[in-house]
Amino acid sequence: MSRFKPADPLDRLFEIGIILKGLDGLLETIGGLLLLAVTPATINQLAAALTQHELSEDPHDFIAGHLLGYAHGLTGSAVTFAAVYLLLHGITKIVLVAALLRNQIWAYPWMIAFLLIFIGYQLYRIAASPTLALSALTIFDAFIAWLTWREWRKQRTKSFVGTSSLNRS
């Protein structure tokens, strides 16, 4: 089994992009595991400790206020849902990225489908409540999906050419 080797600048961007996706998957998996180990009460205490100084200086601090509000709104089922979501999302990314870096042709369409599903979800979230960060993530995901499709076409062509030359011998 061969390792992915970038042949041009777009291939290099593809490699960097999927490695970033893999690192993101690793962080999501770690976050999911942490959420399984931490209770909502602990999250509330941690958020209160992290925001206490900022809110004492500015009781209307936007970020600290929202962080505290989100922490107080967590329930056991919300934490469990978030943990399962992060674990499934993270592990899926790790598996697909590892397969892509090993040039496993089956992983290309799966990565494209995975990205398109989340792009659709992100577009729904943008329509409901637009944010610059989510918009940037969606553009990044669309670019990675396009690079993955481009690379998949190249890999299929190589695979087809290699198979047809074997059949002629």
**Consecutive 10-residue averages of pLDDT for the chain (169 residues):** 82 94 96 89 86 86 85 83 92 96 94 95 95 94 96 83 55
Instruction: Look at residue 65 in the predicted model and tell me its pLDDT.
Output: 86
- CA 168 to chain CA centroid, nearest Å: 43
Instruction: Look at residue 135 in the predicted model and tell me its pLDDT.
Output: 96
Task: Return the structure tokens found at 137.
Answer: 């993530």
- 134 and 142 Cβ atoms separated by less than 8 Å: no
CA 157 to CA 150: how far, in whole Å?
11
Burial 51-88 (b: 16+ CB within 10 A, else e): beeebeeeeeeeebeebbeebeebeeeebeeebeebbe
Instruction: Look at residue 66 in the predicted model and tell me its pLDDT.
Output: 84
- CA 75 to chain CA centroid, nearest Å: 24
Instruction: Look at residue 161 in the predicted model and tell me its pLDDT.
Output: 63
